[in-house]
Structures are given as structure tokens and as C-alpha cells.
Copies of this chain bind each other. A is one copy, B any other.
Amino acid sequence: MGNCFFSQDKNTNVRVSLPAVCFVWEIAMVVLFGIFVRYNEEADAHWGEYKKTHNITTDMENDFYYRYPSFQDVHVMIFVGFGFLMTFLKRYSFGAVGFTFLIAAFGLQWALLMQGWFHSLDYSTGKILIGIENLINADFCCGGVLIAFGALLGKVSPVQMMVVSLFGVTLYAVEEYIILNLLHCRDAGGSMVIHTFGGYYGLAISWILYRPNLNKSKHLNGSVYHSDLFAMIGTLFLWLFWPSFNSAIANHGDGQHRAAINTYISLAASVVTAVAISSMTEKRGRLDMVHIQNATLAGGVAMGASAEFMISPYGSLIVGFFCGIISTFGFKFVSPFLEKHLKLQDTCGIHNLHAVPGMLGGFISAIVAAMASESVYKLTLPVYSAGTQGGAIVGLILKLPIWGDPADDNCFDDE
């Protein structure tokens, strides 16, 4: 996968580098988990005593029961949703699903550590105490990295993606800490923290890795009938479980309830308007599968930051309404423009599905929370910096000729 047979110029053999990276990093995980990671009081065998001392009368009050169903939905979104959404390429479906699997499985371990140091450190013992909410946050973090993968799909080797993943998780944890803990913003569904960050991180890397001769593998950069249908599996599981994504770490009670309702409504609206724009811009009103697979999800991305707020059902409907339109226009007109004039090769169009709707979500949340425009500016800064500057540096690292990236004429091919 991600390799090729006939590239004289490039050494695409990852038989040494991939196992080496996997083993070194996994052993590091074992050591660091051994030093740092323990169960929190709700997952620990002391839960019985904890219940008594905190006057809790039932096991139902364990956070596990508030969040586990949502966690499983998020888990499906990360691995099946993102994985299959990217299977649309006719010859790179394994690469899409397989590398998603690898990146996310490694990323979530590193995320448990990075996010743990920032958010779940018990200062008295120096241990990270994990519970169900940490698992959800680790999955979210992998979501950010997988968004970046969308821009790079088919053009990078698995070793490069491991590097993208290592730095991506690190940058994510830092910008998340700044936004949530230093600037005290709420972003339960991660419009800014996940989508805008992941979007700009991926775009910056892709911009640095620009391939002028990518049209050599143009014949492979497209879909066939059944690969498009596999991609719909990804689309639908993302769309269906997005209410869980935005409500997974919202406040117990009305917070989770409202976040789910708002996201459900916003997503429904973005399907209808994405279909309208898609039909309007295509010959004879036919629908473009790319729009159906992607732009229909924009309402979920944009509701991330304000899902918990009292934005009211029609507010959610309006958000979905406009995001479906903006995202579809993005796929139709902005992506070709970016590729032609800005040398930005964005395989899955993450600019239109994640970067822009995420940004809009941030603005909407700022409006709903009645923030001063200065604060909004301060808020967006860490996301952009981490995304673009971090991405640029990672891109430069990936240009080193040691990572086994495929030649131009072997992109989008997992043979």
C-alpha cells in the first residue's frame, strides 16, 4: 500500500522504516503509559469507596453511563466514517481505510498522553488519570489528524503519515489547551479545535508537498461506481453519528440533549441545500456524488462550537442551510481555483468540508456568546498558527527523502 513498482527516482520501500517507526513509537508508548497512565476514580476499583465518600447512591452516576453510547458512535465515525469516506478513489480504497486505521490507532495512544498531561494530570502523584472522557477526546484528536490526511490522500507513504500523526496530535493538544483552558472558550464539538485546525494543518502540509507533475497519475484520481458507494458508507455514518460527536463531551443533562437536537437539525438542512446547489450547477440537474458525500456534512462541522448553546432549533436550521450552500460552492468552484492558482492539491476537499465550515462555526459561536470581535480574533489565532505554521514545518520534515513517498505517476494507487 502506498507504494509503487516502477519508480527509479524514488525509494518507496518502507520495509525497514515502517516497522522501525511502529516499534520504536509503540515501545515508547508502553514506557510512557507505564510511568504516567492510571485509571481515574470512576474506572478504578476504588469506585465503591468513592461512591460512599461522595454520597453517590447508584452506579448509574458513573460518567461511563452518561458518555459511553456517544463514545462508541464517535469511535465509529473516526474509523468507519473517515476511513470509508476516503475510499472513493478507484485504486486507493485500501490505503484510505488501512492508513486511517493505523494513524488513528497510533494517534489515540499519543493523544491519551498529550491531552492527559494538559487536562487529566493528578499533580499530587504526577499520574494521568483516564476515564471515558479521555477516550472520547483522544478520538477527537485523531479526527483532526484524519482531516489532514484527507488533503494528502494518495500522495504520501504510511511512514510520512505516522510523522504527520505524531506532530498533529502534539500540535492539537497545545492549541486545544490554549483555547479551552487559557482562553476559556467552549468548543464541545470542535468546530475550531478539530475541524479548522485539522483543515489548515493538512492544507499547509499539502502546500509544501506540492507536486507539479501530479497529473501523471490523473487517471487514478477518480472514482468508480462501487468505490463511490463505499464512500457513502463513510458519509452516512459520519452524518448519522454527528449528534453524538457534538454532544459527547457536553454537560450532563440538558447540555447533551440540546447539542444532539441542534446537530440533528442543522445536518438535515445542509443535506437539502447541498442537493439544491449540486443539482443547480450540474448538467441536466444530475447530482454530483462528491457533493452528496461531503457537503451534506457541513452542517455538523459548523454546529460544533455552538451545539451546546441555546441557539434554538431555527438557529440550527439556518446554520445548516447556509453551510450546505457554502460547502457545495467550495467543492464546485473554490477547490479548482486553489489548485490552479495557489498550488494547493487537496484530494478530499477538506478546505470546503472542514476548514471553512469549522471557521464559520467558530464565528457563529462567538456571535451567540456575544463575544467582542477582538476576543474572536484572539481565539482564532492559536488555531491558525498551530495549523498553518505547524503544518508548514511538518511539510518540510516530510520533504526529507527518507520516508518512502510515492512517485508522481504512482500516486492514488495502493499496489
Contacts and interface: CB of A to CB of B under 8 A. Distances in A.
B292 A101 contact: yes
Given A44-B254, A68-B260, A109-B269, A275 B18 contact: yes
B268 A80 contact: no
A267 to B, nearest CB: 7
A1 interface: yes
B279 A19 contact: yes
A3 B288 CA distance: 13
B13 A254 contact: no
A338 interface: no
Interface string A222-241: 00011011101100110111
Contacts of A19: 276-277, 279-280, 285
Contact of A26 (B13, B272, B287): B272
Interface in A261-286: 261, 264-265, 267-269, 271-273, 275-277, 279-280, 282-286
A87 B15 contact: no
A43 B287 contact: no
A312 B272 contact: no
A79 interface: yes
A273 B23 contact: yes
Contact of A284 (B3, B280, B285): B3
A125 interface: no
B135 A229 contact: no
Contacts of A33: 265, 313-314, 317
Contacts of A44: 254, 258, 310
A284 to B, nearest CB: 5
Interface stretch (A56-64, A171-179, A339-347, A351-359): A56-64
A256 interface: yes
A72 B236 CA distance: 12
Interface string A84-122: 100100000110011001100110110010000000000
B102 A313 contact: no
A202 to B, nearest CB: 22
A39 B270 CA distance: 20
Interface residues of A, number: 118
A256 to B, nearest CB: 6
A76 B240 contact: yes
Contacts of A75: 240
B45 A254 contact: yes
B268 A106 contact: yes
A158 B79 CA distance: 31
Contact of A109 (B51, B233, B265, B276): B265
Interface of A: 1, 3, 12-19, 22-23, 25-26, 29-30, 33-34, 37-39, 42-48, 51, 58-66, 68-70, 72-73, 75-76, 79-80, 83-84, 87, 93-94, 97-98, 101-102, 105-106, 108-109, 112, 130-132, 135, 158, 225-226, 228-230, 232-233, 236-237, 239-241, 243-244, 252-254, 256-258, 260-261, 264-265, 267-269, 271-273, 275-277, 279-280, 282-287, 289, 292, 296, 310, 312-314, 317-318, 321, 404
27 contacts: A15-B280, A18-B279, A19-B276, A25-B272, A37-B312, A37-B314, A39-B313, A45-B254, A48-B253, A58-B61, A59-B252, A62-B252, A64-B260, A65-B66, A87-B229, A98-B232, A98-B289, A98-B292, A101-B292, A105-B296, A108-B268, A109-B269, A109-B272, A130-B261, A158-B279, A158-B287, A285-B404
